[in-house]
């Protein structure tokens, strides 16, 4: 990766976020890119090229995962940032927040087995023409860990978003998500939500580096 590429990342931190520092480590220590934390009460995204809504349990997942976080002051600016074409990634709880905020279609409900799932799963890359997946090839089978209780993606008519599906569960569907959907983008293609955790599989020592390509793709999108 060229040293001249500098993508300024901002990681939003909500009360209950617990994967913010994992994302920070990948961006700062592995990719050597500028990154800062953004407290959920901030409303200034000036200078940011890519916003990350990390995993965790914002506000303890009370009421419904992501339902309270969507009202945080920062989310108004996140919506405007998306409208301007800024890149946004929502990982796990971040994906849930994006659906609750209306930035992505559909909703995420309780896993089909009504139990928390924490393990690696296989995924198929359906699109490599997004700013988040150019480092993959279409049809690639990759491995990433999941860790969620509410990852069961649902939408009334999955055919309406067929061209927006970026990742599907491969081999098995761990949570009952409709059409095996694990990750989608908005119609414009600049907002990406996924239930798997790419930040937890970005070094060999973690058992997989498959997630690193998402972050590399974002940097190359600059």
Angle 193-14-120 (CA atoms, 0-180°, nearest 5)?
A: 45
The DSSP-derived string for 124-163 is EE----STTTTTS-TT-EEEEEEEES--EEE-S-GGGGGG
Does the active-site annotation cover 187? no
Sign of CA dihedral 138, 211, 123, 194: negative
The one catalytic residue in 19, 23, 197, 201 is 197
The DSSP-derived string for the chain is --TT----EEEEE-TTB-SHHHHHHIIIIIS---EEEEETT----TT-SEEEE--B-GGGG-SSTTTTGGGSHHHHHHHHHHHTT-EEEEETHHHHHHHHTTSSSSEEE--TTSS-EEEEEEEEE----STTTTTS-TT-EEEEEEEES--EEE-S-GGGGGGGEEEEE-S--SS--GGGEEEEE-SSS-EEEESS-GGGSSBGGGTB-TTHHHHHHHHHT-
The one catalytic residue in 92, 148, 150, 201 is 92
Does the active-site annotation cover 150? no
Does the active-site annotation cover 197? yes
The one catalytic residue in 148, 150, 199, 201 is 199
Would you name the residues annotated as active-site residues? Answer: 92, 197, 199
């Amino acid at each position: 990766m060229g040293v001249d590429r500098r993508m300024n990342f901002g990681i939003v931190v909500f009360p209950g976020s617990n994967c913010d520092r994992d994302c920070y480590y990948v961006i700062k220590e592995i990719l050597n890119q500028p990154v800062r934390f953004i407290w959920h009460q901030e409303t200034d995204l000036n200078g940011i090229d890519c916003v990350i809504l990390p995993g965790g349990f914002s506000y303890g997942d009370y009421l419904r995962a992501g339902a309270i976080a969507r009202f945080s002051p920062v989310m108004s600016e996140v919506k405007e940032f998306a409208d301007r074409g800024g890149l946004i990634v929502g990982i796990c709880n971040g994906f849930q927040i994006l659906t609750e905020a209306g930035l992505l279609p559909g909703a995420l409900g309780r896993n089909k087995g009504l139990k928390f799932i924490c393990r690696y799963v296989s995924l198929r890359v359906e699109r490599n023409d997004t700013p988040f997946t150019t480092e993959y090839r279409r049809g690639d089978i990759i491995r990433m860990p999941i860790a969620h209780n509410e990852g069961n993606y649902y939408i009334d008519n999955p055919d309406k978003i067929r061209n927006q599906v970026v990742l599907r569960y491969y081999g098995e569907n761990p949570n009952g998500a409709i059409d095996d959907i694990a990750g989608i983008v908005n119609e414009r293609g600049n907002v990406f939500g996924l239930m798997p955790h790419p930040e937890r599989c970005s070094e060999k020592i973690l058992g997989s580096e498959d997630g690193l390509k998402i972050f590399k793709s974002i940097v190359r999108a600059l």
